[in-house]
Chain A
Amino acid sequence: IQMTQSPSSLSASVGDRVTITCRASQNISIYLNWYQQRPGKAPKLLIYAASSLQSGVPSRFSGSGSETDFTLSISSLQPEDFATYYCQQSYGTPYTFGQGTKLETK
């Protein structure tokens, strides 16, 4: 299963609302997870099962979608949100990741 994220990079400012999309090459139901990775750090789970917020993750993060099309939204960017974001399908092995979206300061 191929996962395609867009855009590959995104420039935004603190307070902006941003949306990242992820498309699966086949129907994966809601087996879609989102991770945040800061430089030099391990990935951190943000959203699982397409729209469920992981415990401890701020509510400005939200996910939606099903089958092949998914989105990750951040409602009001904070300085700590500038990082790289990955989607991952867990419908079947291999559990493929998207290529990543780097969120940068404008």
Chain B
Amino acid sequence: QVQLVESGGGVVQPGRSLRLSCAASGFTFSSFSMHWVRQAPGKGLEWVALTSYDGSTEYYADSVKGRFTISRDNSKNTLYLHMNSLRPEDTAVYYCARDRGYSYAHNLDYWGQGALVTVSS
């Protein structure tokens, strides 16, 4: 069955960096675009970033552009989110999610359990 498992969350000081990982299994990872979505405590969902199936194309929310980088290693079935210059407002649960593709209106059909990132001094 499809599984997405995030790791790498934790407490980090403002201005520091952190890398999240999302290990995928149960499907052909290299065939699907992947997303990161976050949710600040008590708040709604915020889309963060998207990478195409082969990693050749990336898109970012304005709130993270220039600070965050999405990447993937298809040989390891793993998605990453490299977060630099972290701010307190980046505190959130970060979810990775699979994009089902154009024919399905790019819905996010599978999600990980989430990784909590807390930015605090």
Residues of chain A having any CB pair with chain B under 8 Å: 30-33, 35, 37, 42-45, 48-50, 52, 54, 86, 88, 90, 93-100
Residues of chain B having any CB pair with chain A under 8 Å: 35, 37, 44-47, 50, 59-62, 95, 100, 104-109, 111-114
Complex Cα–Cα for A30 and B106 (A): 11
Complex Cα–Cα for A45 and B37 (A): 14
Tell me which residues across on chain B come within 8 A of A31, comparing CB atoms: 105-106
Grouping DSSP codes into helix (H, G, I), strand (E, B) and loop, the A interface class, with mixed when no group exceeds half, is loop
Contacting pair B45 A42 (CB below 8 A) = no
Contacting pair A33 B105 (CB below 8 A) = yes
Contacting pair A54 B45 (CB below 8 A) = no
What are 5 of the A-B contact pairs (CB < 8 Å)?
A42-B95, A42-B112, A48-B100, A49-B104, A94-B62
Tell me which residues across on chain B come within 8 A of A93, comparing CB atoms: 50, 59
* One of A33, A86, A96 near B107 (C-beta < 8 A): A33
Complex Cα–Cα for A57 and B44 (A): 22
Known contacts A35-B45, A43-B108, A88-B45; 14 additional CB pairs below 8 A are A31-B105, A32-B105, A37-B45, A42-B114, A48-B100, A48-B104, A54-B107, A90-B106, A93-B50, A94-B60, A97-B47, A98-B44, A100-B44, A100-B45
Complex Cα–Cα for A96 and B104 (A): 17
Tell me which residues across on chain B come within 8 A of A45, comparing CB atoms: 107-109
Contacting pair B111 A43 (CB below 8 A) = yes
Complex Cα–Cα for A85 and B48 (A): 19
Contact of A97 with B50 at beta-carbon distance under 8 Å, contacts A31-B106, A48-B100 already known: no
